[in-house]
Amino acid sequence: MNDQTPITTGCSDTPVLKQRGQREVFCGLTGIIWLHRKMQDAFFLVVGSRTCAHLLQSAAGVMIFAEPRFGTAILEEKDLAGLVDANQELDREVSRLLARRPDIKQLFLVGSCPSEVIKLDLARAAERLTEIYNPNVRVINFSGSGIETTFTQGEDACLAAMVPMLPNTNERELLLVGALPDVVEDQALQLLSDMGISKIRVLPAHRVDAQTALGPNTVFALTQPFLGDTHAELIRRGARHIAAPFPFGEEGTTAWLRAIADEFGVDQDMFDRVTQAPRARARKAIQAQAKILNGKSIFFFPDSQLEIPLARFLTRECGMKAIEVGAPYIHGDLIGPDLELLPKGPVISEGQDVDLQLDRCRAARPDLTVCGLGLANPLEGEGLSTKWAIELVFTPVHFYEQAGDLAGLFARPLRRKSLLTGFHPNMQAAE
Amino acid sequence: MKLTVWTYEGPPHVGAMRVATGMKGLHYVLHAPQGDTYADLLFTMIERRDHRPPVTYTTFQARDLGSDTAHLFKDACQQAYDRFKPEAIIVGASCTAELIQDDPGGLAETLGLPIPVIPLELPSYQRKENFGADETFFQIVRHLARPMEKTAQVSCNIIGPTALGFRHRDDIQELTALLFDMGVQVNVVAPMGASPSDIARMGQAHFNVLLYPETAEAAARWMERDLGQPYTKIVPIGVGATRDFLAEVAAITSLSPQVDDSRLRLPWWSSSVDSTYLTGKRVFIFGDATHVKASARIARDEMGFEVAGIGCYNREFARDIRALGKELGVDSLISDDYLEVERVIEELQPEMILGTQMERHIGKRLGIPCAVISAPVHVQDFPARYSPQVGFEGANVIFDTWIHPLVMGLEEHLLHMFRDDFEFHDEAGPSHHGGHMPKDIAAAADPQKTVLLEDGNVIWLDAAERELKKIPFFVRGKAKRNTEKFASEKGVNQISVETLYEAKAHYAR
């Protein structure tokens, strides 16, 4: 079932197809939707337009309840007339907000396209406001604008902005970087501490009080591939990166854990003792789904930067055949180990010209297409099976216990299609 | 600056998208940064369209800023024409592109495309979605429609329906049938379903039916002046309004307003004794002005409710709503701040809310029944079944929709008779609202409270129980059952984290 291709023939040397044109992707503001759930004492205040507020509302869907911990300070005509005024306006809105929400300890001023284009200096505003609200509230600025960030890069920009503020330490500690669902984070911490690695911190932490420290003896591992800027900031602070494939599937999780275990001198016996049972469970759970996925072809539109590690998992552990793997950005340094493992064959593309990419997708007629919500129903309408990419960011999918679920996310649309065949006129045409 | 969480309306370019997506053979080239394509999913997901909206975005990025963006726009425009071969193109800027001041209209003109190119000026920092739709449709009509000889038979245009409109799809069908019964043919429905060449022949209709003033009033006024077409002022939502609308059409056309109303059931349903309990129920009505006006009349005159308060979020119609409030003797709220709406509802304590998706959330929070009467709405209000608001069938649909969330008459009677009974006590609420279960019963039924398995005597260890709680609540029950079943099959009597995941892997088949 697993692809036995030797790893030396991976995709590291495959030339990357780079295209510029219309991009059908989310902006970085979308990251707020999951980041605010993770950081429970934080509020995300977007400084932007009605479009930004509308985007957050559309992406958050039913999550907009009575008092969410994010909102938009909508720029009005008078804010555009003079910049001094805009700063005063911002201060007033922040004071109203913090008076209403005294539980907030971290306030993120999130830049948007409009605020970037009029060059509203939110970094200085954050400094000014930090002075005013010190020590109760820390105000941090990052940009989630579409002109600078794509979807998950919003998390990268947020975490990168937090790094320079972390206190110093000389302790030899492991730092896990990337916002994971709580259940997944706990599993990762458990596995590592079972191997005897005890001093572990996470970024982002649940609350600002538990915030981690950082220094020249810190080593860090990334749990998500889209953290390029955060990676650079951490290195700037003297921390060292443990390169590894990303922890998707049994193989990815094992390789990720192995890299950390090597760094901390964990012997093979200990490693096997800790990982053997969960590895067996993961393989078993994947196998059930792989029956459906084996031999099926898959096409990735760019969305989250998770595409390459996921393609690696689906091809090697589920027997799928990748036709094109598109990513919004490819950070060679971070994604290298995954590219090396990804069997040769697929087109690797970076960036997008959506109409041309749709032409390629239609010509290839893949069994499964991973794409955004704007493309999914139109492609289903043409008889192609799709998997919404955004779900992969919200659902627990990392590490051993979720490996079967991860494969299941891809198997379900195919199973559904086989159950419903015959109802939609285009479905027969697709056979 | 204004702090906002909910917005009732999107930015004006989303209104333009609603017009473009509703139409056929029209393409919209939108100068906008990467990310603004999020709006596509409103159409593909909420309205479940099986085609991409006909919109090409320039999706410029930071590196493009400077002189490059104008080029980008021209390329995008030319490519959109080459690929989609539309009959006409509309061009405009989103909020960010408005700031960088490329001139989409001027740039598109220099391309010399062989089709009409219609520039849109949509001030993003002052106006909103409905204005965007209204202005876009007006510009399209103004550019394409011309005075023409009228059709031999009496005909009209139906104007206002767009993509992402609340029940627009079925309202068109109901209204077309109603007009057909009177002997009026529909010339063009626009923007929904119309192509630019259809717009060009709108002039041959005798008059216009202005179905939704929010999205087509500017076009209606222009056509009245420049094409000599009167337009209807009454929106036929509700029985009384439908009859008045038919009379209005009769006055314009000299046709008889008598049409077949044999399938109209609201008046009898509302008169039947089972509806007596509806008398004087206090309702608060909020939404877009058109649906609020229609709903207030139905609530008072056709359902026998007491209107406790009204309001709308679109300032363009503030004067109308204030006048109506005065007539009803209630305060009217003109606001797009949902916290203010929530405050007013809390103050008024109505027995029912007629509102938008936001009011549905407010109602849920305050424990007040709510029915949806207006956009913005979510996916469940784009139903598969036929559900117009307009005309006689619309009245039937409205009757059912509004009374559904209310406690049934008999149930209410029982609540009073047996107010101390645990199943019928005051806070029990309607039987079909699971969320209103009495608190003590809900607590007792909480599956997390039980540590012991009733029959098999299996114990959840603390760590495993904590792990179980991390599982999303909607699958937690299943995970718990499966794990316990797995444990008892294996003869394990203590469930550890390990057991939990062993079971998960076991059932992964």
Span B384-429, pLDDT tens digits:
999 999 999 999 999 999 999 886 655 665 555 555 555 545 555 5
Residues of A in contact with B7 (CB under 8 A): 50, 53-54, 57
Cβ–Cβ of A74/B4 closer than 8 Å? yes
Using a CB–CB cutoff of 8 Å, tell me whether A83 touches chain B. Answer: no
Q: Are residues B398 and B317 in the same domain?
A: yes
Cβ–Cβ of B1/A66 closer than 8 Å? no
**CA–CA distance, B221 with A238 (Å, rounded to integer):** 68
Using a CB–CB cutoff of 8 Å, tell me whether B501 touches chain A. Answer: yes
User: Out of A25, A47, A186, whose CB is closest to B35?
Assistant: A25
What does the block give as tokens for B501? 């995941």
User: Out of A28, A92, A401, whose CB is closest to B504?
Assistant: A401
- Residue whose tokens read 């009005």: A76
Using a CB–CB cutoff of 8 Å, tell me whether B48 touches chain A. Answer: yes
DSSP state, residue A150: B
In chain B the first and final C-alpha atoms are separated, in Å, by: 54
**Cα atoms found within 13 Å of the Cα of residue A160, Cβ hemisphere only:** 20
B7 part of a folded domain:
no
Cβ–Cβ of A64/B2 closer than 8 Å? no
B135 part of a folded domain:
no
Whether omega before A135 lies within 30 degrees of 0, making that bond cis, reads yes
Cβ–Cβ of B4/A49 closer than 8 Å? no
Q: Please name which of B192, B158, B153 lies closest in space to residue B176, comparing C-alpha atoms.
A: B158
Cβ–Cβ of A50/B7 closer than 8 Å? yes
3-state secondary structure of B118: strand
**In DSSP terms, which residues pair with A42 in a beta bridge?**
A106
A28-149 classified as CATH 3.30.428.10? no
Cβ–Cβ of A117/B99 closer than 8 Å? yes
Q: Are residues B16 and B121 in the same domain?
A: yes
Cβ–Cβ of B33/A404 closer than 8 Å? no
**CA–CA distance, B310 with A117 (Å, rounded to integer):** 40
Q: Please name which of B229, B259, B254 lies closest in space to residue B242, comparing C-alpha atoms.
A: B259
Using a CB–CB cutoff of 8 Å, tell me whether A65 touches chain B. Answer: yes
What does the block give as tokens for B368? 């007040």
User: Residue B276 burial by CB count (10 A; 0-12/13-18/19+): exposed, middle or buried?
Assistant: exposed
Q: Are residues B74 and B201 in the same domain?
A: no
Which stretch of DSSP H or E encloses residue B282?
strand B282-287
Residue B355 marked ligand-binding: no
Residues of B in contact with A89 (CB under 8 A): 1
**Cα atoms found within 13 Å of the Cα of residue B78, Cβ hemisphere only:** 11
Chain B, window 268-287: residues with a beta carbon less than 8 angstroms from a chain A beta carbon: none
Using a CB–CB cutoff of 8 Å, tell me whether A275 touches chain B. Answer: no
R_g over Cα of chain A = 22
Cβ–Cβ of A118/B52 closer than 8 Å? no
Q: Are residues B95 and B207 in the same domain?
A: no
DSSP assignment string, B190-226: ESTT--HHHHHTGGGSSEEEES-HHHHHHHHHHHHHH
B438 part of a folded domain:
no
The ranges of chain B with pLDDT < 50 are: 424, 431-453
Residues of A in contact with B83 (CB under 8 A): 355
- B449 residue type, one letter: K
pLDDT of residue B238: 98
Phi, psi (degrees; rounded to nearest 5) at B125? -95, 0
Q: What percent of chain B has pLDDT over 70?
A: 89
- Extract the annotated binding site of A: 27, 52, 113
B6 part of a folded domain:
no
Q: Are A397 and A249 in contact (CB under 8 A)?
A: no
Class of A173-263 in CATH? alpha beta
**CA–CA distance, A114 with A147 (Å, rounded to integer):** 10
Q: Are residues B409 and B289 in the same domain?
A: yes
pLDDT tens digit sequence for B179-219: 999 999 999 999 999 999 999 999 999 999 999 999 999 99
- Residue B416's Cα: distance from chain center in Å? 36
User: Residue A319 burial by CB count (10 A; 0-12/13-18/19+): exposed, middle or buried?
Assistant: middle
Q: Are residues B365 and B464 in the same domain?
A: no
Beta strands in B134-195 (DSSP E): 155-159, 185-190
Q: Are residues B153 and B275 in the same domain?
A: no
**CA–CA distance, B361 with B342 (Å, rounded to integer):** 10
CB pairs under 8 A between A and B: 206
- The minimum CA-CA distance between A410 and chain B, rounded to whole Å, is 14
- Residue whose tokens read 């994604």: A335
User: Out of A54, A145, A377, whose CB is closest to B44?
Assistant: A377
**CA–CA distance, B154 with B150 (Å, rounded to integer):** 8
**In DSSP terms, which residues pair with B55 in a beta bridge?**
B28
Q: Is the dihedral angle over the CA atoms B65, B70, B74, B75 positive or is it negative? A: negative
**CA–CA distance, A395 with A181 (Å, rounded to integer):** 8
Residues of A in contact with B57 (CB under 8 A): 22
R_g over Cα of chain B = 28
3-state secondary structure of A352: strand
pLDDT of residue A68: 81
- The CATH number for A16-23+284-430, chosen from 3.40.50.1980, 3.40.50.720, 1.10.3720.10, 3.30.70.360, is 3.40.50.1980
Residues of B in contact with A22 (CB under 8 A): 37, 56-59, 76
Using a CB–CB cutoff of 8 Å, tell me whether A408 touches chain B. Answer: yes
Cβ–Cβ of A147/B48 closer than 8 Å? no
pLDDT of residue B89: 98
DSSP state, residue A335: H
3-state secondary structure of B161: coil
What strand order describes the sheet that includes A138-143?
Answer: A138-143, A106-111, A42-48, A70-74, B2-4
Domain end (from B415, B433, B463): B415
User: Out of A61, A64, A147, whose CB is closest to B60?
Assistant: A147
Residues of A in contact with B40 (CB under 8 A): 24, 373-375
pLDDT of residue B433: 46
Which residue does chain B place closest to A45, by CA atoms? B3
Residues of B in contact with A57 (CB under 8 A): 6-7
Q: Are A227 and A334 in contact (CB under 8 A)?
A: yes
The ranges of chain A with pLDDT < 70 are: 1-9, 62-66, 83-84, 422-431
**CA–CA distance, B64 with B119 (Å, rounded to integer):** 23
Strands A70-74 and A42-48: parallel
Determine the residue among A284, A356, A377, A398 to mutate to test chain B binding: the one whose Cβ has the most chain B Cβ atoms within 10 Å: A377
Q: Are residues B286 and B402 in the same domain?
A: yes
Which stretch of DSSP H or E encloses residue A44?
strand A42-48
Cβ–Cβ of A374/B38 closer than 8 Å? yes
Our answer to whether residue B274 is catalytic in this structure is yes
Contacts of A13 (CB under 8 A, 6+ apart): none
Whether omega before B388 lies within 30 degrees of 0, making that bond cis, reads no
Q: Are residues B316 and B349 in the same domain?
A: yes
Cβ–Cβ of A74/B1 closer than 8 Å? yes
Beta strands in A77-228 (DSSP E): 106-111, 138-143, 174-177, 200-203, 219-222
Which residue does chain A place closest to B47, by CA atoms? A377
Domain with CATH 3.40.50.1980 in chain A: 16-23+284-430, 28-149, 173-263
- B228 residue type, one letter: G
**In DSSP terms, which residues pair with B306 in a beta bridge?**
B282
- Extract the annotated binding site of A for [4Fe-4S] cluster: 27, 52, 113
**CA–CA distance, A143 with A146 (Å, rounded to integer):** 9
DSSP state, residue B62: G
B91 part of a folded domain:
yes
Number of domains in chain B: 4
Contacts of B446 (CB under 8 A, 6+ apart): none
3-state secondary structure of A215: coil
Q: Are residues B76 and B113 in the same domain?
A: yes
Q: Are residues B158 and B240 in the same domain?
A: yes
What strand order describes the sheet that includes B332-334?
Answer: B332-334, B306-312, B282-287, B352-355, B370-372
Catalytic site residue from B68, B274, B426, B462: B274
**CA–CA distance, A53 with B230 (Å, rounded to integer):** 39
Using a CB–CB cutoff of 8 Å, tell me whether A72 touches chain B. Answer: yes
Domain end (from B253, B285, B304): B253
- Residue whose tokens read 């023939």: A9
Domain end (from B415, B432, B458): B415
Contacts of A141 (CB under 8 A, 6+ apart): A108, A109, A110, A111, A122, A123, A125, A126, A161
**CA–CA distance, A416 with A387 (Å, rounded to integer):** 11
Cβ–Cβ of B509/A288 closer than 8 Å? yes
Cβ–Cβ of B5/A64 closer than 8 Å? yes
Chain B, window 50-89: residues with a beta carbon less than 8 angstroms from a chain A beta carbon: 50-52, 56-62, 64-65, 76, 79, 83
Chain B, window 359-388: residues with a beta carbon less than 8 angstroms from a chain A beta carbon: 361, 365, 378
Domain of B375? 266-415
Q: Is the dihedral angle over the CA atoms B181, B187, B190, B193 positive or is it negative? A: positive
Contacts of B313 (CB under 8 A, 6+ apart): B8, B9, B286, B287, B288, B334, B335, B336, B356
User: Residue B322 burial by CB count (10 A; 0-12/13-18/19+): exposed, middle or buried?
Assistant: middle
Beta strands in A144-233 (DSSP E): 174-177, 200-203, 219-222
Q: Are B313 and B359 in contact (CB under 8 A)?
A: no
Using a CB–CB cutoff of 8 Å, tell me whether B449 touches chain A. Answer: no
In chain A the first and final C-alpha atoms are separated, in Å, by: 25
- B458 residue type, one letter: V
Residue B409 marked ligand-binding: yes
B394 part of a folded domain:
yes
Q: Are residues B104 and B184 in the same domain?
A: no
